[in-house]
Amino acid sequence: MKSEVRDSLHARSVVRRAAPALAGALAAVILVACGTDPELRTQDISGSLPDLELALERAPEETPVTEADYEGKVVALYFGFTHCPDYCPLTMARVGAAIDGIDPDLSDDVRVLFVSVDPERDAPEQLARYVSGFGEQFEGLRGDRRTLREITRRYRTTFSYGEPDEHGNYEVAHGTALYVFDREGEARLLARDDEPIDDLQHDLEVLLDSG
């Protein structure tokens, strides 16, 4: 009995000693999770994802492009496909609307890179036609399966294909996030598909104004 009391007393003192450390660790995690720039309205992801880096081909001419082609620009990166019935056209339309609200002198410096994760169906001409419908800042980029795996792994997203139906149509699972990089090429924002257009416009303006 006595030693049980001693056990529990010992335990209590140990817990008391460990409690600040545990609380500190918890606070650190929460801070990391919520350490957002008060100026920004969509999710601030500074430091979480690597800088802009890509090696793809721009539709329709299939010109090779890298991050160097977007130096000094605010870049919004999206992974989608032109047959997408929901997320892609909606998100692109929202981004287009947000860009339309920005002062034209500034909005020239925005590039929206729509990377097709379904290169089999998205022929260069079709992809170029698709993205041009959303605005002049939009570019359609393509790459082979390997290159696509590399870039999606880098930004911790993925894509996969469902079984084709009798007409050869298949589902493509892809991320719905828009990744925004600042003029220095640093990953800054993650916008979800349901982000209010005003917030998106506001944050793009913040990034355009800085630097």
Q: List residues binding other proteins (CB under 8 A).
A: 3-4, 7, 10-11, 14-15, 17-18, 22, 25-26, 29-30, 32-34, 45, 47-49, 79, 145, 149, 152-153, 156-160, 162, 171-177, 190, 192
Cβ neighbours, 10 Å, residue 207: 24
SS3 state of residue 3: helix
Structure tokens at 206: 């913040």
- Measured from the CB of residue 98, what is the shortest distance to other proteins in angstroms? 18
Residue 105 or 160 having the CB closest to other proteins: 160
Cβ neighbours, 10 Å, residue 129: 14
| Residues 38, 206: Cα–Cα separation, whole Å | 11
| Residues 142, 127: Cα–Cα separation, whole Å | 9
Residue 109 or 170 having the CB closest to other proteins: 170
Residue 40 or 128 having the CB closest to other proteins: 40
Residue 42 or 107 having the CB closest to other proteins: 42
- Measured from the CB of residue 45, what is the shortest distance to other proteins in angstroms? 6
| Residues 189, 102: Cα–Cα separation, whole Å | 17
- Measured from the CB of residue 206, what is the shortest distance to other proteins in angstroms? 20
- Measured from the CB of residue 16, what is the shortest distance to other proteins in angstroms? 10
| Residues 37, 179: Cα–Cα separation, whole Å | 16
